[in-house]
Amino acid sequence: MAPINTLHILNKAPEHPRSLACMSVLQSGDALLLTENAVLALAVNSIDPGVPVFALAPDLAARGLESGIQGASLVDYAGMVDLTTHAQKLINW
């Protein structure tokens, strides 16, 4: 797992202004983790923010989305915690 500069953890739906704010500050070397409502972004279109994208599998399953997901690698709760250990900085949006 490559080291991550800043891990952005986003749980807001795509329409939420904080989702837009998050997307606008992503830089190379960062990573984006989508949880709760934010996983809906993967239903809108396969987002390509130019950084690795992860998504929390139980949240995708809850919303009937976990089949046919592109543009994000799925993690479970343990995987989420592991991700945070690889990041120097965290932003919980």
Residues that contact other proteins, how many (by CB under 8 A): 18
Other beta carbons within 10 Å of 47: 16
Please name the residues in contact with 42: beta carbons below 8 A apart, sequence gap of 6 or more. 34, 55, 60, 65, 69, 70, 71, 72
Kindly state whether residue 6 participates in binding other proteins, applying the rule CB under 8 A: no
Nearer to other proteins, 6 or 58 (CB): 58
Kindly state whether residue 58 participates in binding other proteins, applying the rule CB under 8 A: yes
DSSP string, 37-85: GGGGHHHH-----SS-EEEEHHHHHHTT--TT--S-EEE-HHHHHHHHH
* Segment interacting with other proteins (CB under 8 A) among 2-10, 23-31, 32-40, 47-55: 32-40
C-alpha 22/C-alpha 1 separation (Å) is 23
Kindly state whether residue 23 participates in binding other proteins, applying the rule CB under 8 A: no
Minimum distance from residue 2 beta carbon to other proteins (Å): 27
Minimum distance from residue 86 beta carbon to other proteins (Å): 23
Contact footprint for other proteins (CB under 8 A): 11, 13-15, 36-37, 40, 43-44, 57-59, 61-66
